[in-house]
Amino acid sequence: MPEKIRIIVNEDRCYLCGGCAGVCPTLAIRVSSSKWEFFQDKCISCRICINACPVGALSAEPLEGEL
Q: In 3-state terms, what secondary structure has residue 58?
A: strand
CA terminus-to-terminus distance, the chain: 15
Residue 47 binds ligand SF4 (CB under 6 A): yes
Q: Name which of 1 and 49 has its Cβ closer to ligand SF4.
A: 49
What is the 8-class DSSP label of residue 32? -
Largest CA distance in the chain: 34
Residue 44 within binding range of ligand SF4, rule CB under 6 A: yes
Return residues touching ligand SF4 (CB under 6 A).
7, 9, 14-20, 24, 26, 28-29, 31, 36, 43-49, 52-53, 55, 57-58
